[in-house]
Amino acid sequence: MENFQICTPTNLVFGKGTQHQIGELIKPYGKKVLLHYGGGSVKKIGLYDDTVNSLKKAGVDFVELGGVVPNPRLSLVQEGIKLCKAEGVDFILAIGGGSAIDSAKAIAAGMCYDGDVWDLFEGIAPLTKALPMATVLTIPAAGSEMSNSAVVSNEEKGRKYGIGGDCIRPVVSIVNPEYFTTLPKNQIANGVADILSHMFERYFTHTKNCDVTDRMLEAVIKSVMKYALVVINDPSNYEAWAEVGLGGIIAHNNWLGIGRQQDWASHNMEHELSAYNDIAHGAGLAVVTPAWMKYVYKENIGMFVQFAVNVMGVSHSHREPEALVQEGIARLEEFFGKMGLAQTLGELNIPESAFEDMAKKATGAYFGQERGIGSFKKLMWQDVVEIYKLCR
Amino acid sequence: MENFQICTPTNLVFGKGTQHQIGELIKPYGKKVLLHYGGGSVKKIGLYDDTVNSLKKAGVDFVELGGVVPNPRLSLVQEGIKLCKAEGVDFILAIGGGSAIDSAKAIAAGMCYDGDVWDLFEGIAPLTKALPMATVLTIPAAGSEMSNSAVVSNEEKGRKYGIGGDCIRPVVSIVNPEYFTTLPKNQIANGVADILSHMFERYFTHTKNCDVTDRMLEAVIKSVMKYALVVINDPSNYEAWAEVGLGGIIAHNNWLGIGRQQDWASHNMEHELSAYNDIAHGAGLAVVTPAWMKYVYKENIGMFVQFAVNVMGVSHSHREPEALVQEGIARLEEFFGKMGLAQTLGELNIPESAFEDMAKKATGAYFGQERGIGSFKKLMWQDVVEIYKLCR
């Protein structure tokens, strides 16, 4: 086990009806709040009204900015920062899914930085400070409700980059699985793929002596997969949603990733898919992840045998470990299929002609700064092209 | 799953050599620190010197108070509060095991309360505020390094009571498993019994639809048991200690207990053993816990079959669930035996003549306020006597 540091100060309030507490919960943190959200869904499910009522009841002054789209845009973040400065906002409240939350995190960070907020994403300036922010979650997927990271798309430059730092962990997050019961099937499936990917990125490691986190990862991955198949067929099942929702938080607050090297190549490869064709992050991950597994498993076959046996429940001869691994990966593909997720880049309308550019962008080679991605196997752009080819 | 709230803001720094960071880590929180510890062990293992050097290097002003004993005493807590008031202390740093940490938490709480600190333990006044405090841990056991609770013994009244509240979660905790490698075997065994009990108290529940936490509990319980047997035979094994140490933190920071009813009857029954004969908490738990299991399993046999199969690895006919349960409990007793722990109250020098008084104290009947303990099965004093008898 490697040395580690973790600090997860988010006050997490989970369960039925908890959205009514938002006003009282955030009142101590700010004088004027930006209420940030996407489009109609928060209004349709009643969350917008519940939030506004709770803020008013608690006497919390606020302004609002809607319009967040999936793969949230830098332009709206910049607009939000301008608005917050003009209005003297000192606290950001996101209601919605990972896009609204990440957009809110970027605004919170940008409010404490003098230059253009995109500098923080490019690494030109370090992320050291942000306004406090809170969330009311409507989609279990990104894990952003308790994570220390955010991803934003720069639509002008065609880049999708992330920032990370404990200053952007929400101070309060409300997770009410009742909201999940109204999600359409494609959003359910994409969300589950994202949750699982957050755990796969942590699970596949060369770091030895990580049994506590190995076993916890297996526990949560299996539980999420079990209940994902329940909710995709019966989205009204609150108890199943509670399992998926709790799993989604734990998948990405990093309690399952401490003391071990993490990978994140699949996330990097996927960000280029989203940047190329504006597809849902989870949809891209479900295609890229099994291909990544096929390309890298030989780097540490024991790790992948463990995945096949402990996670995917494969149980036949250990005399042929490669067969176990292949069966494990096949079962994961079968699971994604049952969730209704695309299995190929073709289905996502990403042609082979785009592979080289995307691979070069993912690894930095496109910008003359190839750094490689991942740690389980360090991938250069040619490796990424091969993995994209495995997704055809 | 029940609605829940959790907030674990402790900045946890884990691994080799991390004690040297303590001065810089706590510097932002206070102007004058009370350095609180037990006896010679922190000096023998070099932690005292490392701490003092780190505080001086960071320019942190401090006074000190040693002398904490196992089952920490109210009298020293009161002395600490007096000292802190006289010296203008605004931050408490405990170095040691659960006793030093709990004593420090009580001092931190007492500093923010006008009356006698014992009022907080008696429930005469609520715990709402405490000075910030930090820890450097030397024994994995109590989980107090990240928990929201503390237990103190009132030696005059012969009572051992706890307080709980998020205000006594440490703001910083350093856990360096290198320190664990010098522990004597009885402390190792007692600590492991305490860690496991923190998870058993959460695991055995009637709350349904808790698969994520069920599976995580099983994961961590099994990992701790596996590596406990390694370190009891080879205390020098750092990697095994890292697993036990991480397990001990997670066992009690409540991430494994969210959304489910918890029990805590075994802890209550044990506190009376410690109060009666000043035995180690873990030693008492190892005796009481299997007896509690035998007494209560019929309340929810499915839960105990799950324990036998998923935790203790019992795998024979499910046609006779009681046989599975008994085998599961027998294997737990066998495990405690391998750790060198006592199996009976006789071995702990607690005679049957003491059972009734202890049972009445544990349940409150002794003070004319019988409230019963536990939730898996609510135990009145007569039940507790029966459980003590099963420990003979």
Cα–Cα distance between A80 and A74 in angstroms, integer? 10
Tokens of B349: 């020098």
- The pLDDT-based confidence of B277 (bands split at 50, 70, 90) is confident
Residue B213: its chain A contacts at CB < 8 A? 246
Instruction: Report which residue type is found at A277.
Output: N
3-state secondary structure (DSSP) of residue A34: strand
Residue B260: its chain A contacts at CB < 8 A? none
Cα–Cα distance between A39 and B163 in angstroms, integer? 46
Which neighbouring-strand residues pair with A8?
B8
Instruction: Looking at the complex, report in whole angstroms how far the Cα of residue A353 sits from the nearest Cα belonging to chain B.
Output: 42
Read off the pLDDT of residues B308-328 as tens digits, 9 standing for 90 and up. 999 999 998 899 999 999 999
Over range B340-344, report the average pLDDT. Answer: 97
Over range A23-52, report the average pLDDT. Answer: 96
Instruction: Looking at the complex, report in whole angstroms how far the Cα of residue A107 sits from the nearest Cα belonging to chain B.
Output: 23
Residue A246: its chain B contacts at CB < 8 A? 1, 212-213, 258-259
Cα–Cα distance between B33 and B29 in angstroms, integer? 9
Residue A239: its chain B contacts at CB < 8 A? 1, 208-209
CA distances from B111 to B120, B121, B170 (A): 12, 14, 15
B241, B177 in Cβ contact below 8 A? yes
Task: Give the one of A8, A218, A243 whose C-beta lies nearest to B211's C-beta.
Answer: A243
CA distances from A197 to A264, A281, A282, A308, A316 (A): 9, 10, 8, 16, 26
Over range B225-241, report the average pLDDT. Answer: 98
Read off the pLDDT of residues A212-231 as tens digits, 9 standing for 90 and up. 999 999 999 999 999 999 99
Among all residues of chain B, which has the CA nearest to that of A16? B3
Cα–Cα distance between A33 and A60 in angstroms, integer? 7
Cα–Cα distance between B64 and B270 in angstroms, integer? 31
Q: How many CB pairs below 8 A link A and B?
A: 122
Residue B1: its chain A contacts at CB < 8 A? 15, 239, 242-243, 246
Cα–Cα distance between B364 and B373 in angstroms, integer? 9
Cα–Cα distance between B248 and B262 in angstroms, integer? 17
Closest CA to A13 of A247, A131, A171: A171
Cα–Cα distance between A366 and A161 in angstroms, integer? 15
Among all residues of chain B, which has the CA nearest to that of A178? B3
Q: Which residues of A touch B (CB under 8 A)?
A: 1-18, 208-209, 211-213, 215-216, 218-220, 222-224, 226-227, 239-240, 242-243, 246-247, 250, 255, 258-259
Q: What is the mean pLDDT of chain A?
A: 97
Q: How far is CA A60 from the centre of its chain?
A: 30
Q: Mark yes or no for CB contact A9/B6 under 8 Å.
A: no
Q: Is A392's pLDDT higher than 90?
A: no
Residue B215: its chain A contacts at CB < 8 A? 219-220, 222-223
Read off the pLDDT of residues A137-193 as tens digits, 9 standing for 90 and up. 999 999 999 999 999 999 998 888 999 999 999 999 999 999 999 999 999 999 999
Q: Is A330's pLDDT higher than 90?
A: yes
Q: Is B85's pLDDT higher than 90?
A: yes
Give the number of C-alpha atoms closer than 13 A to the C-alpha of residue A75, restricted to the C-beta side.
6
Give the number of C-alpha atoms closer than 13 A to the C-alpha of residue B291, restricted to the C-beta side.
24
Cα–Cα distance between A35 and A212 in angstroms, integer? 39
To the question of pTM greater than 0.90 for the whole model, the response is yes
Instruction: Looking at the complex, report in whole angstroms how far the Cα of residue A254 sits from the nearest Cα belonging to chain B.
Output: 12
- Per the document, the length of chain B is 392
The predicted structure's pLDDT at residue B384:
98
DSSP-assigned states of every residue in B309-355: IIIT---S-TT-HHHHHHHHHHHHHHHHHHTT---STTTTT--GGGH
Cα–Cα distance between A16 and B209 in angstroms, integer? 15
Backbone angles phi and psi of A93, in degrees to 5: -120, 115
Q: Mark yes or no for CB contact A209/B14 under 8 Å.
A: no
Q: Is A278's pLDDT higher than 90?
A: no
The predicted structure's pLDDT at residue A294:
98
DSSP 8-state assignment for residue A388: H
Q: Mark yes or no for CB contact A212/B10 under 8 Å.
A: no
Cα–Cα distance between B53 and B268 in angstroms, integer? 40
B288, B147 in Cβ contact below 8 A? no
**Angle ∠(B65,B70,B265) on CA atoms, nearest 5:** 130
The predicted structure's pLDDT at residue B261:
98
Instruction: Report which residue type is found at A2.
Output: E
Q: Mark yes or no for CB contact A16/B10 under 8 Å.
A: no
Tokens of A357: 């550019």
Among all residues of chain B, which has the CA nearest to that of A224? B212
Over range B195-216, report the average pLDDT. Answer: 98
Q: How far is CA A246 from the centre of its chain?
A: 14
Residue B251: its chain A contacts at CB < 8 A? none
Give the number of C-alpha atoms closer than 13 A to the C-alpha of residue B366, restricted to the C-beta side.
16
The predicted structure's pLDDT at residue A158:
83
Q: Is B370's pLDDT higher than 90?
A: yes
The predicted structure's pLDDT at residue B317:
87
The predicted structure's pLDDT at residue B160:
86
Percent of chain B with pLDDT over 70: 100
The predicted structure's pLDDT at residue B159:
86
Read off the pLDDT of residues A304-317 as tens digits, 9 standing for 90 and up. 999 999 999 999 88
Closest CA to A191 of A151, A232, A234, A135: A232
Instruction: Report which residue type is found at A300.
Output: N
Task: Give the one of B212, B219, B242 whose C-beta lies nearest to A215's C-beta.
Answer: B219
DSSP 8-state assignment for residue B52: H
B190, B282 in Cβ contact below 8 A? yes
Cα–Cα distance between A89 and A267 in angstroms, integer? 33
The predicted structure's pLDDT at residue B167:
96
The predicted structure's pLDDT at residue B105:
98
Residue B239: its chain A contacts at CB < 8 A? 1, 208-209
Cα–Cα distance between A173 and B169 in angstroms, integer? 19
Query: Which ipTM value was assigned to this complex?
Result: 0.96
The predicted structure's pLDDT at residue B109:
98
Which neighbouring-strand residues pair with A92?
A34, A133
Among all residues of chain B, which has the CA nearest to that of A220? B212
The predicted structure's pLDDT at residue A40:
86
Closest CA to A361 of A351, A352, A370: A370
Beta strands in B72-142 (DSSP E): 91-96, 133-137
Closest CA to B27 of B132, B153, B147, B103: B132
Over range A120-133, report the average pLDDT. Answer: 97
Among all residues of chain B, which has the CA nearest to that of A246? B212
Distance in angstroms between the alpha carbons of the first and the last residue of chain A: 37
Q: What share of chain B is helix, strand, coil (3-state, %, to 5)?
A: 55, 15, 35
Read off the pLDDT of residues B147-156 as tens digits, 9 standing for 90 and up. 999 999 999 9
To test the contact with chain A by mutation, choose from B16, B215, B254 the residue with the greatest count of A C-beta atoms within 10 A, namely: B215
Cα–Cα distance between A253 and A245 in angstroms, integer? 13
3-state secondary structure (DSSP) of residue A152: strand
3-state secondary structure (DSSP) of residue A201: helix
Cα–Cα distance between B330 and B58 in angstroms, integer? 52
Over range A278-295, report the average pLDDT. Answer: 96
To test the contact with chain B by mutation, choose from A212, A234, A311 the residue with the greatest count of B C-beta atoms within 10 A, namely: A212
Residue A175: its chain B contacts at CB < 8 A? none
B94, B135 in Cβ contact below 8 A? yes
Q: Mark yes or no for CB contact B15/A9 under 8 Å.
A: no
The predicted structure's pLDDT at residue B4:
98
Residue A216: its chain B contacts at CB < 8 A? 216, 219-220, 250
Beta strands in chain A (DSSP E): 4-14, 32-36, 61-65, 91-96, 133-137, 149-154, 159-164, 172-175
Tokens of A7: 């600090």
Task: Give the one of A6, A15, A247 whose C-beta lies nearest to B212's C-beta.
Answer: A247
To test the contact with chain A by mutation, choose from B212, B229, B260 the residue with the greatest count of A C-beta atoms within 10 A, namely: B212
3-state secondary structure (DSSP) of residue B226: helix
Closest CA to A104 of A37, A54, A48, A171: A37
Read off the pLDDT of residues A344-353 as tens digits, 9 standing for 90 and up. 999 999 999 9
Q: Mark yes or no for CB contact B212/A222 under 8 Å.
A: no
Place of tokens 């299996």: A222
Over range A53-81, report the average pLDDT. Answer: 97
Tokens of A190: 């994409």
Give the number of C-alpha atoms closer than 13 A to the C-alpha of residue A7, restricted to the C-beta side.
18
Among all residues of chain A, which has the CA nearest to that of B176? A3
3-state secondary structure (DSSP) of residue A284: helix
Cα–Cα distance between A107 and A101 in angstroms, integer? 10
Among all residues of chain A, which has the CA nearest to that of B169? A9
DSSP 8-state assignment for residue B31: S
CA distances from A97 to A47, A94, A173, B65 (A): 12, 8, 12, 50
Among A245-259, B76-90, B157-171, the minimum mean pLDDT is found in B157-171
Q: Is A247's pLDDT higher than 90?
A: yes
